[in-house]
Each structure stands twice: as C-alpha cells, then as structure tokens.
Structure 1
Amino acid sequence: AGHGLKFDGKVSCCNLNRLQLETAESRNHLVIWLYLIISLIMIPAMFGFSLGISETYMTILVKTLEWATLKIQKANEVESTLKLEELRRSRPKPPVGGDFTFSDCFYFTRRGIESIIEDEVTQRFTSEELVSWNLLTRTSNDFHYISLKLTLVYGLGIFVRYCILAPLRITLAFIGLSWLVIGTSAVGLLPNWRVKSWLSEWVHIMCYRICARGLSAAIQYHNRENKPKKGGICVANHTSPIDIVILCNDGCYAMVGQVHGGLMGVVQRAMVRCCPHVWFERAEMKDRHLVTKRLKDHVNDKTKLPILIFPEGTCVNNTSVMMFKKGSFEIGGTIYPVAIKYDLKFGDAFWNSSKYSMVSYLLRMMTSWALVCNVWYLPAMHQQEGEDAVQFANRVKSAIAHQGGLVDLQWDGGLKRAKVKATFKEQQQKKYSTLVVRDDSGSNSD
C-alpha cells in the first residue's frame, strides 16, 4: 500500500509538472504573439508608417487574383460558347435554306431581361455583383469547379484567412477599441488646455489606425490639400460603419449620432470625455430644431473638429449615391465633400444591416482578403445665392458621385425599410396630370 501511495504521488507530481510546462509554453507563445503584433503592426500604425508587410501581402494577393481571373474567364468563354451551340442545335431546322431562326436571339434576350429586371432602388441595398470570383466562399455561388490548381489555391486561401488573418485581425480590433476607451478616458481627465486637444487627436488617430490594420486596409487618399478643416462639415457617401475608420485614419472628426447602450455606449462616453462629439438622446433626435441648433453651435466654434456626417442616412452598396437629407445643409458653414470608393475584388465593404448583424458583418470583413479603397477630398463648397438646402445637397451629391465613379440617384435611401412617401406619389401624379392637361389642350387647339 505504501508503494502504491508513493507511485500515485509520483504520477501526480509528473502530471503537475507537465501541466506547469504546458502553461508556461502557452504563456510564452502568447507573449511572442503579442510581441510580434506590437513590434510589427501596432508601433508602425501608431506613428503612421509601414514595414512593407502589407504591401508585400497586397502584391501577392493581386497577382493571385489576376491569375484566378484569367482562369475563370477562359472557362466562362468556353461555357458560353457551348451554351450557344447547344441552343442552336436544339432549334427547329428551317424548312427553306438559310442559317438563322428566331430562336437564335433567345439567349441574348434572356440576358438583356435579366439586366433590366431589377429596379434602381432595390439593387442598391444588395451586394454588388462580382465580375469574376475573388476566391471567397461567400461569392462562389455562380462559380464551379474549374481546375485542380484553382481549387488548391482556394483551399489555401481559406486556411490563410481563417487561421492566420482572422485571429490577428480580431486581436488588433480588440486592442484598438480597448486603447480607444482607455486613452480617451485618461485624456478626458486633463484640464482643457491645448495639449489636451493634441493628445485627444493623437489617441483617436492612433486607435483608428490600429483598427485599420486589423482590416488589412489599403487606403489611397487623394487631394489632401482639400481635407476638411475645423469649423466645417465633412459629408461623404455611406457604405459601411467602417467608413468612419477609413476617414479617421487620416484625420480627426467630431461624430454625430444617437446615444447607444452596451459596448457602443461605453465607447461613446469615453470618446466624448476628450473630444466634442455630438451625441443625442433618442427623444432629442426627433426634435429637428434642437439637433440643428447644437450642430450650428459646434460649427460656429472654429476651434472644434469638423463634423462628419453621412447625409444618405443609410448604407448603400457603393455603386451609387442616393438622396442626401437636406438637414446637413441647413446648418450653414463650409461643406467639405468626400468620395469613398471600395474595391469589391478584395472584399465587399457594404453592410446589409437587414441581413447581417454588426458582429456577423465584422467577422465577414475580418475573413475577407483585405479592405482596399480610394478616398477623394473634394474642394470646399458653399451654398450659392438663391440656392435652397435641397439644391445645395443635390449639387454636393453630384460632385461626390462624379468623383467616385458612382451613379447619382434621386431616390431616398429610406426606401430600404419604408414604403414610398405619399408626397413623392403626389409629385408623380402632378407630373402626369400636367402632361394630360397639356395633351388635351393641344388636341383641342387642333
């Protein structure tokens, strides 16, 4: 019995030692992981430079997708030819000589009908259709097995995105948000001196840059001499909440929005301690006069950061710009338009809020290849004499659409969740009645 107890004691000691070794190894791996993240990603992001890792990754990614596109295009050409030949073989043979029958146009007619069957509004709230597959599972519905090489590259891509990039990006996002809350809370304790404003901007930009690295964001900023200045209003087309990260990666803005609870509320309360963001309670958002007054007070103070507003009021799939709400253009002050255009080939930045929750959307973004976009700062615009807020909003919207290569639409983005307003129906009825009256008067005169 004594020997048995000694043996059990030795086994327990061995198990304990093994457990301690495994714990130490896990701790060492975690330390190494964090050390690499801090030294290779976070520190360069904090000071706005790159070690070339992202550029190398993007170069390899671009070449891989170009190779995959060529493979798919060749396969699609063969498939289209086979479909057309099959259709021609199945047609009834003409009784008299000739090589053309009416059925020859069916294939192209069907394609044409498919192109026009969707209306202008609905298709703006669904993901833009890819020209060629970008090797993501979520966009593979219209593509099939083409070759063994392409399948192997696709499998390797799944491993890279989910086993390497996703953990890295989630870690960076967590660190970025944590630092944002801690940093802004700490800066908020300082007295209102000039150094507080400088530290606030530095903390915001640093945290947003870390979050941008967490999305493998490759951003090209154009015409930086037109960047929004203090006391102005920055307006941009809206594709995703990530638009804020994209713009704040290059400068600080005062946010405008509704007060939230939960984690978002914690972030909002921390941010407003050190920066004059404009948050409204739910009841206040319905009071247009109160909202306008607070925004005017902010704009009139030329020491405060420019306000960032997305006048569309909803996320659009980055193919067009929909109607700008006039409220942003009734405040007065200088408007700084900004156009944002994402490259769909590397990942779809559009947030379809009716289909995906915020968490699901962020996970999709963190398992995409990268976030590639162009940002254009347009020259400052002012309301012209005799121009009302609606006309001014349309002029700014047209400028953004033209610069970003987007379709300029007059439709209200609110149609995403609501029915057409009665006032809009009345406008169409008035136009129709005007045409009828004009036609009747013309026929009577004849």
Structure 2
Amino acid sequence: MQLGQRLFTVVMHHPLKNIATTHYHLSSSVMHLQKNLFEVCSDAFKAGFEAIVQDEISVAFDIAPSFYTTLLEWPGRLPFPDAPRIISRWHVLGYLLAIPFRYGVLLPIRFGLILTSFIYILMAVIVSFFVSLNKRQKTRICTTYSRLFCASLGLIAKYHNPQYRPKHPGIAVSNHLSPNDIQIIHANVEMNADFGFTVTGQKHSGIIWAIERLTERICCALWFERNNAEERKRFTDILIKEGRREGPVLLFPEGYCTNNTRRLQLRRAVFEDGITIYPIAIRQNARFGDSFWSENQFWRYLLRIATSWAIVYDVFYLEPQKRLKDEPAQIFAARVQNLIARAAGIKRIDYDGCLWYRKSEQMRMKDIQMKDLARHLKEMVASNYSTDPTIIQSCDLIDHQKGRGSMPSSPNSTLIKTPLFSFAA
C-alpha cells in the first residue's frame, strides 16, 4: 500500500498534473505526454512489484532449504527441493529416529571437541605469560586450535590450488558465511609455517568475545567496531600497514555474513597500490548442514551446526592479484569480486550488506530512486513542451522536492530496478 501511495504522490500529485490540465487544448501533445506518464508509472510499479517478489539482496540472507533425504527438518514442511511429493510414513519414522542420534550422539561428541579446543587455547594463553613463544610455535598452536574447532563443527573441507595459498605479505579476501570461516581457513595453514594469518573481524559479545580475547594473545588479530566511523578509519589504516609487513592478513571485505548464493560488493578501501590481494572463494554444499549464521544468538547457531550431519566446504585459493597501472580502486575491487564469485559459482551483486541491515541506507537508496524518477519526468515533459517557459519553470520545481537524497544521480540513469521499493513497502 505504501509503495502505491509513494508512486502516486510522485507522479500524480506533482505540478505535472497541473501542466497536463492547463494545456489540454494541445490535444496531440497531451495524449503523448499522458502515454509517457503511463509508461513511467508502469515501469516504476513493475520495478516495485519485482522487488517485492524477488529482489537482488534479500536472497543473500535467506536460510538454505532443507532436503528430503537428510532428515534434518520435520517432514511436514513441504515442499523439499529434492522431493516435491507426499512424504511417506517411513520418512517420518527416519526423522524421528535421527533426532536421538543427532542430539544424543553427535551433540555430545561435538560439544566435547569444542570444549577441548577452548581448553587447549586457554592453556596456550596461560603458558604464553610465562614462556616466550616464537612465531612458528604460535602458528602451530593457532592451526591446532582451528582444526579442533573445525572438527567440532563436523567440517568436511576440500582445499583447492594450494600453490596459491597466501604465504607472503598481502591481504587475503574471502566471501563470508559465519565467524567460523576464520578457523576454517586457518586450519589449512602448514604446521611448520613461520606465519599463518593476521585475523580481522567485528567486535562481538558472548562466546565470540571469549574466542577473540583468547586468540589475540596467541595470534595476530585486529578487531574493530563497525558502527564507529573513527574506529573503522583507524582499522583501515592499520590493516594496510599490516598488509605490507610480515604475513598475509585475512579479511572479509563484504562486512556481513551471507548464505553463499550472492557475492556482495567489496569495500574498496584496502585495494591500494602496492598491496598483493589473495582471493579466496568459499563454496558450500548446504545439503547436510547450513553454515550461514542467521540466528540472533551465537549459541543457537552452534547448537544447530553441532546437530547437523556435516558442514561441507570447498575452499579455492586463487591466483594473487595486484592493482594495474591507472586502475581505480573500485574497478580493482570489482575485478577481485568477479574472480571469487566465478570460483564459488555464485552471483555477484553490486550492493553493500549495510543496505539490508541499516535503515538509514535503505532510506537513502529510496530517496535516490525517487530523485531519478522525478528527473526522468522532468526531462520527458521538457522535451514535449520545450518551447513553453511555463512548463519548464514548473518542471524545475521537481528539483526542490522535500526528502531528496544528497547523492547525485547518474546522468545516464532513468529507472533503476533496486530492492528499495520493497524496503519502503
């Protein structure tokens, strides 16, 4: 309802209505104008309805579907992707028998493994206060902890192209399903390596806070607060300096966890001259368990993961990339984004994750869309009544509408099909 009201306000309650009324005697021009107005409204409504039904960004945060053969969901939740038919009684029986095995056998074993990983890293932290650990020892401890933690997730991972595994200064960038991706990538570091990764991430509370505090004592770590602009700027400066020092820095430049169906736009701040970028692509098979973190509490997420059959990953190390001469940082970031999306077999989209989570970004994008729509109407009417100064003066009022975004629109843009209409609805 709000979608239709806003479009009606922009198109019909604008001075353009008075223009058409005032110049009704110009029958042929008025008919042409009305036709164009109808086409603009039709395109706008079509873009809005398409956004509501299926936009480009919301699908990146959907939970993966369950499958008939994995017995992870109650069979009454139809349809399953692999079984669009009536569920048999035998399937119901199999689901009921799987529950005690998942919660009575898998959960205790995996809880024991995750507890073991915490005890291991805690003991290493305590030892580090009394014994000076060298870089190779710290790398061995971090890798062992990561492998114990991955075992508690039921991880089955295959690592491709080990010759491209980051070993030298630079920034390793990867797509992101959950905070556990740090351990999954670090678990493949060689035990006798002098340096693993400088790990980075958003500051959290609860269980993740405990993991961050423990690991930063053993492993080089950079944590930041996403909502603090000054801290983000300071983090970026430190990150670039670290990327030019001893070993690779592990970064998830999307900034948000996604479900491995879309590749979000990369933050271009780190794609600077003289920094080697190591692209890493993660591809998930969610049939036996979905690694995407969609729960509000991390412990609920861990419970779901620990009672799934397995987390199946393919990790692709891609050829290192450097910024070309006279190549803008934005183009370089898009080029790396394409490489990761192609290797992971997912679609690339030119939207930032904050557009999904932040109301201010949603409103800003909606204002930009309204501005482009109003400008398109202005140009259309001006071209039909280019000789009438009254029309031109009335059309210029479009530029002074209340609530416009401050960001200028592209001179070649008309109607942009984005998911912002669904945000306004």
TM-score over 0.5 for the pair: yes
1:387 paired to 2:327: yes
Tell me the residue number matched to 1:48: none
Distance 1:215 1:261 in 2: 20
Of 47, 54, 59 in structure 2, the residue corresponding to residue 118 of structure 1 is: 54
Aligned residue runs from structure 1 range 184-223, under 5 A = 184-187=125-128, 189-191=130-132, 196-223=134-161
Distance 1:396 1:211 in 2: 29
Tell me the residue number matched to 1:326: 268
Change (3 A) 1:374 1:163: same
Of 395, 407, 412 in structure 1, the residue corresponding to residue 347 of structure 2 is: 407
1:170 paired to 2:111: yes
Residue 382 of structure 1: how far off its partner (Å): 1.4
Residue 147 of structure 1: how far off its partner (Å): 2.5
Tell me the residue number matched to 2:100: 159
Contact kept? 2:121, 2:141, Cα under 8 Å: yes
Of 214, 221, 229 in structure 1, the residue corresponding to residue 167 of structure 2 is: 229
Distance 2:366 2:206 in 1: 40
Contact kept? 1:124, 1:316, Cα under 8 Å: yes
Of 284, 292, 295 in structure 1, the residue corresponding to residue 239 of structure 2 is: 295
Tell me the residue number matched to 2:230: 286
Contact kept? 1:197, 1:274, Cα under 8 Å: no
Task: State how many pairs are aligned.
Answer: 327
Residue 316 of structure 2 aligns to a residue whose secondary structure is strand
Change (3 A) 1:371 1:441: same
Residue 435 of structure 1: how far off its partner (Å): 5.0
Distance 1:337 1:380 in 2: 7
Distance 1:368 1:220 in 2: 19
Change (3 A) 1:255 1:140: farther
Tell me the residue number matched to 1:311: 253
Residue 257 of structure 1 aligns to a residue whose secondary structure is strand
Distance 1:232 1:209 in 2: 24
Residue 341 of structure 1 aligns to a residue whose secondary structure is strand
Greater Cα offset, 266-275 or 344-353? 266-275
1:359 paired to 2:359: no
Residue 138 of structure 1: how far off its partner (Å): 6.1
Of 350, 371, 374 in structure 1, the residue corresponding to residue 311 of structure 2 is: 371
**What letter is aligned with 2:212?**
Q
Residue 361 of structure 1: how far off its partner (Å): 0.5
Change (3 A) 1:386 1:189: farther
Contact kept? 1:187, 1:200, Cα under 8 Å: no
Residue 327 of structure 1: how far off its partner (Å): 2.6
Residue 442 of structure 1: how far off its partner (Å): 6.5
Percent identity reads 32
- Going by fraction, where is helix more abundant, 1 or 2? 1
Residue 149 of structure 1: how far off its partner (Å): 3.0
Tell me the residue number matched to 2:78: 142
Distance 1:198 1:372 in 2: 29
Contact kept? 2:356, 2:362, Cα under 8 Å: no
1:341-387 deviations in whole A, cap 9, x for unaligned? Answer: 1111101111114xx31000000000001111111111111122222
Residue 253 of structure 1: how far off its partner (Å): 1.7
Distance 1:245 1:167 in 2: 21
Residue 153 of structure 1: how far off its partner (Å): 2.4
Residue 288 of structure 1: how far off its partner (Å): 3.9
Larger relative contact order (CA 8 Å, sep ≥ 6): 2
Residue 240 of structure 1 aligns to a residue whose secondary structure is coil
Aligned residue runs from structure 1 range 32-71, under 5 A = none
Return 5+ residue gaps in structure 1 as ranges. 1-112
- TM-score by structure 2 length? 0.68
Residue 325 of structure 1: how far off its partner (Å): 1.8
Distance 1:307 1:367 in 2: 32
Distance 1:117 1:421 in 2: 17
RMSD of equivalent CA atoms = 3.1
Distance 2:148 2:248 in 1: 22
Aligned residue runs from structure 1 range 62-101, under 5 A = none
Distance 2:368 2:117 in 1: 49
Residue 277 of structure 1: how far off its partner (Å): 1.5
Contact kept? 2:75, 2:95, Cα under 8 Å: no
Contact kept? 2:200, 2:222, Cα under 8 Å: yes
Return 5+ residue gaps in structure 2 as ranges. 1-48, 80-84, 190-195, 387-425
Change (3 A) 1:283 1:126: closer
Distance 1:204 1:183 in 2: 9
1:254 paired to 2:198: yes
Residue 183 of structure 1: how far off its partner (Å): 1.7
